[in-house]
Chain A
Amino acid sequence: MSKANRFVGSPVERLEDLRLLRGRGRFVDDLTAEGVLNAVILRSPVAHGIIKGIDTSAALAIPGVVAVLTAEEIGRPVPTIPIRLFASKLTEPLEQPCIADRKVRYVGEPVVLVIAESQAIAEDACDAVVLDIETLPPVVTREAAEKGQSLLFDELGTNRCARFTAIKGDADDAFRNAAYRRRERFGVHRHTAVFMEGRGLLAEWFEEEGKLVVQGGAKVPFATRKALSKQMNLPEDKIEVHEADTGGGFGSRGEFYPEDFLIPFAARYVGKPIKWVEDRREHLACSNHSRETEVEAEIACDKNGMVLGLRGTAFVDSGAYVRTNGLINPRNVSQFMSGPYHVPNINIVTDFYLSNKGPVGTYRGPGRYETDYVRERLFDMAANDLGIDRVEFRRRNLVREDQMPYQLPQIVETKSGDELDSGNYEVTLDQCLAEFKWAEKVEKYDGKLIDGRYHGLGLHCFIEGGAAGPKENARLVLEKSGNVSVYVGSSQVGQGVVTVLTQIAADALEMPMDKIAIFHGSTTGTKEGFGSFHSRSTVMGGSAIVVAAASLQKLMREAAGRRFNCAPGEVTLEDGKAQGPGGKSLTFAELAEEDISIEESFFNHKHTWAYGTHATHIAVDPQTGQVEVLEYVAVEDVGRMVNPLTLGGQAVGAIVQGLGGTFLEHLIYDGEGQLLTGTFADYLLPTAGDFPRIRAIMTGNYPSPINPLGVKGAGEGGIIPVGGIMANAIASALRSFNVQPLELPLSPPRIWKLIDDARPAEAAE
């Protein structure tokens, strides 16, 4: 067998599908255990208040109810959810207690945990609990958050919980001398991941061994174990966290939530296995929200449309607490405003404010969807004001290949920067224009009224980051069968990680895919693991496998050398056999009589940057405000493709998620902090009929220099441009009305109102 690359780069059909298509998945609610009990959580019905009393006596009296737990039974101080990324002394007091203690801060906050023989009985018991909560004025709007008359945390003295300032060059100086400036205020609405399978856990306590086993962990099982170890005062080696099949993640699933403590705690408290599965109402109110951002941004250009600077201030809503990765959102809003463009001077200050709404975390393309919306809107406005074609405007400002690695702004508070790794951004721009037939379509459709609808085109260049460090582990074991088991710290969130990592391992080991088994998402597989976020599993898990595969092959050659009495360098590993001089040969199974295994880490302190361009053609019905997406083309370069089938699938899926967020999805709160879109009849996800014409063209032309595979993290990119491109296309379609959509979502009533307000004479007629 040659060293030829056989599987990486091929559209290999997924291994996962064979189970999932036959109803043989093992999702968390499919799991059970002997004597299992069900948990249901009674959640705060008010957004802000003081708990005066909790009467659980009627609930406890219901037959089948086993336990009813409050902060009292759990014990004070109630453990809090640790902040996983960018934690500081300042944010520590703002961590969420796993069950409300004395104060409630959002509708949906856990207040009482009921354990019963069935979920239905536990829900009956929740209905029987009497809560006495004295309400406080809720902080729902930005104005109320900033004003601070009502505080979520009195001891903080303000509702502002963090600030991230991105600095590059001297923005004020650049703006002083700029030929062109424009300032606008943009709003992005609260929406989020909303994966199809609710979160869930099955926790079992083994009293004799003093051991806790949790199934249903996801994304970052090692981080979950670490948190649980502290909260439950158990050594880490007495806790196992395993993932089940996961029905979607998109950044939200697998972060540590209150239930990740409550259910294991209850399992130990009651001494029985306990299962909890989040229902849809809980999911919409309580799983991490995201995206709620307002930006006042200003662009400065010279008269040729060269961008001189971007500056501005941003407000990001944190919800009621600072959760595990919530700080990523404001940090990214500051850091990534310039996207794929050379912007010499930047000053963006983003403030993160608490409010009495669901706490936020990351959602696919966190902070990037928001900033791309702002930047690309400003670029279209600037190009239009300066009389420069919007394609040309972008072309002039894209970071050039000879500028790589390209420095992004520094974040003052964290003293951290970032740099773009590689690529030729103009190539994907041109490829997208050609695929879309941009020039022809601009001529034919843009801004034209055709059969009662205004047509518009939009174009958007973007980058997506991936490959977060610090490292990832892979442990390879040559099994007695001669096959190789690969244990990796990465997790699966529905992205096909088994298939992709099998392809990588098969190439690295020069073995067929069916001789390799991937094990992932378990704290028992590797010494350490870092999981799947920031588009890192292919880059980090894949690279760890490549490193470990080389070490395993070295061990195999050494073992064979000992048996053949030759130097390891004389041994070849081919076709399932180790061969030495003089025709000596051992099958891998024979070689495995000696234990051969190795765990290695791949370290990385830089990020990969996939990049691309999207183009779209839309039509607006001016009488209803309805927007139809007639065509959408995405081109993205990911350095090197591992599996074009799964990669392209994620791009299209991400685009449709982005369209959902841009047009349909909205987590709406009323003035009292009640969530008004708590069902699937109100929180509108895209369906099969909504966005039928989307194409994604993925390329692997410019490998990343920072990992042995040359791959870049991908899968989030598709969502990033969608808000910006759609608002730009609508503005272009409606140019005769001279209106600018500045607020998302682009719902029919909002578009209709833009048009209606622009023609008062006609309306009055």
Chain B
Amino acid sequence: MKLPPFEYACPATLDEAIALLASRDGDAKAISGGQSLMPILAFRLASPSLLVDLKKLKGLDQIKIDASGITLGAKVSWRQIEDDKRLATAHPLLQEMISHVAHYQIRNRGTVGGSIAHADPAAEMPGFSVTCDAKIVVKGSSGERIIPAGEFFEGPLMTVLEADELITEIRLPPWPAARRWGMLEFARRRGDFAMGGVAVFYDLDAQGRAVDAHVGVIGAGSIPHRVPGAEAAINGTTVDETAILAAAKAAAAGVEPLTDIHASAAYRRNLISVLLERALRAAVAR
């Protein structure tokens, strides 16, 4: 399983990188951590003529936190998120979600931008970005675009990213300290892609009722997505057992999971429902 032939370039600036990507008529691929791309090359499932290494590009590896929210540079690694003590309060859901990503060695090298560009429907980062109303900032030959995460993913391993575009940042809205949240995923083994996963958060109004509930799912269809039915079942309630069960039921109805060798659609549908039920209980108790 040796990699297919390709040329390699390691540009010093973003503009050069974009120019290189644009130079091959869609046949060039960006590589950063390489943790998603390298296995694909090893199986020769892709055979780009040029790899453009983002290693020397500056300024893309920062986590910025201010009143307007959180900005993750595309080259921020899982490990950086895990180790950033500010995020424990600035975005606890991000840290929780990232704790499920792959394994130690991959977490040292894999990047948020790479995961989003790869767009595995069972991966955490795409699901997280959709759940949290993230904005994906991309730059290409024709300039910069800011794409809502909910419009970024088109299918398994498919996104709206053009061949000459690079993700530069992921922007997240601020996270209120009092926000209630829960996140659970179920995988056959720790670190595996999820058979199903659920992230949920909501805020409480003055009467203790849930507002602005967000429910996102991974591994439950061809792209990560929110589940409006489940969100509606939470909003306006005190998130009591009745609401939790209603939301769980709505989640089961609001997903179209696939059957594959690992599980049937029926199993996954049930799983999403169970995970949301449990995640909501955790949110209430938090």
Contacts and interface: CB of A to CB of B under 8 A. Distances in A.
**Do A and B interact directly, with beta carbons closer than 8 Å?**
yes
Interface of A: 118-120, 123-124, 127, 279-281, 623-626, 664, 666, 668, 676-677, 679, 681-682, 684, 686-687, 689-690, 747-749, 752-753, 756
A749 B267 contact: yes
B37 to A, nearest CB: 15
A137 B4 CA distance: 33
Interface of B: 1-5, 39, 43-44, 186, 188-193, 195, 261-264, 266-267, 270-271, 274
B43 A281 contact: yes
A686 B195 CA distance: 17
**Complex A-B, nearest 3 residue pairs according to Cβ-Cβ distance, in ascending order:** A120-B2, A749-B267, A279-B1
**What is the interface of chain A mostly: helix, strand, loop, or mixed?**
loop
A570 to B, nearest CB: 66
Nearest to A689: B190
Contacts of A281: 1, 43
A191 to B, nearest CB: 13
Contacts of B5: 120, 124
B55 to A, nearest CB: 23
Contacts of A756: 270
Contacts of A127: 4, 44
Counting chain A CB atoms within 10 Å of each CB, the highest count among B2, B44, B191 belongs to B2
A681 B190 contact: no
B43 A679 contact: yes
Contacts of B4: 123-124, 127
A681 B193 contact: yes
Given A690-B189, A753-B264, 18 more contacts: A120-B2, A123-B2, A124-B4, A124-B5, A281-B1, A281-B43, A624-B274, A625-B267, A664-B188, A664-B189, A668-B261, A677-B261, A681-B193, A682-B261, A684-B189, A687-B190, A748-B186, A748-B263
17 contacts: A120-B5, A123-B1, A624-B274, A664-B188, A666-B261, A668-B261, A677-B261, A681-B39, A682-B262, A684-B188, A687-B190, A690-B189, A690-B190, A748-B188, A748-B267, A749-B263, A749-B264
Contacts of B189: 664, 684, 686-687, 689-690
A687 B186 CA distance: 16
A625 B1 CA distance: 36
Contacts of B191: 687
Contact of B271 (A279, A624, A686, A747): A624
A752 B3 CA distance: 40
A686 B192 CA distance: 12
A747 B268 CA distance: 13
Contacts of A749: 262-264, 267
Contacts of A280: 1
A689 B192 CA distance: 12
A43 to B, nearest CB: 13
B261 A753 contact: no
Nearest to A625: B267
A682 B262 CA distance: 8
Contact of A623 (B2, B195, B264, B270): B270
A749 B44 CA distance: 31
B43 A684 contact: no
A684 B192 contact: yes
A750 to B, nearest CB: 9
A706 to B, nearest CB: 42
A377 B189 CA distance: 27
Contact of B261 (A624, A676, A687): A676
Given A120-B3, A676-B261, A690-B189, A623 B274 contact: yes
B2 A119 contact: yes
Contacts of B39: 681
A735 to B, nearest CB: 22
Contacts of B267: 625, 748-749, 752-753
A625 B2 CA distance: 39
Nearest to A663: B188
A668 B261 CA distance: 8
Nearest to B2: A120
Nearest to B263: A749
Contacts of B2: 118-120, 123
Counting chain A CB atoms within 10 Å of each CB, the highest count among B189, B192, B271 belongs to B189
Contacts of B266: 753
Contacts of B3: 120
Contacts of B274: 623-624
A280 B263 CA distance: 24
A625 B18 CA distance: 48
A664 B2 CA distance: 28
Nearest to B260: A676
Contacts of B270: 623, 752, 756
A684 B262 CA distance: 10
A269 to B, nearest CB: 23
Nearest to A686: B189
B276 to A, nearest CB: 12
Nearest to B3: A120
A721 to B, nearest CB: 23
A665 B191 CA distance: 16
A279 B1 CA distance: 6
Nearest to B271: A624
A653 B167 CA distance: 45
A692 B43 CA distance: 33
Contacts of A753: 264, 266-267
A624 B263 CA distance: 11
A715 B171 CA distance: 55
Contacts of A120: 2-3, 5
Contact of A624 (B43, B186, B192, B262): B186
Nearest to A118: B2
Contacts of B1: 123, 279-281
A119 B262 CA distance: 33
A241 B123 CA distance: 47
Contacts of A624: 186, 271, 274
Nearest to A668: B261
Nearest to A685: B189
A681 B270 CA distance: 23
A755 to B, nearest CB: 10
Nearest to B278: A623
Contacts of A123: 1-2, 4, 44
Nearest to A622: B274
A740 to B, nearest CB: 20
A664 to B, nearest CB: 6
B150 to A, nearest CB: 27
A118 B5 CA distance: 13
Nearest to B5: A124
A177 to B, nearest CB: 45
B103 to A, nearest CB: 9
Contacts of A664: 188-189
Nearest to A676: B261
Nearest to B195: A748
B130 to A, nearest CB: 23
Contacts of B264: 749, 753
Contacts of B261: 666, 668, 676-677, 682
A120 to B, nearest CB: 4
Nearest to A756: B270
A681 B3 CA distance: 18
A350 B1 CA distance: 39
A623 B195 CA distance: 14
Contacts of B195: 748
Contacts of A124: 4-5
A318 B5 CA distance: 38
A157 B193 CA distance: 46
B99 to A, nearest CB: 13
A752 B270 CA distance: 9
Contacts of A689: 189-190
Nearest to B270: A752
A752 B43 CA distance: 34
B5 to A, nearest CB: 7
A123 B262 CA distance: 30
B255 to A, nearest CB: 16
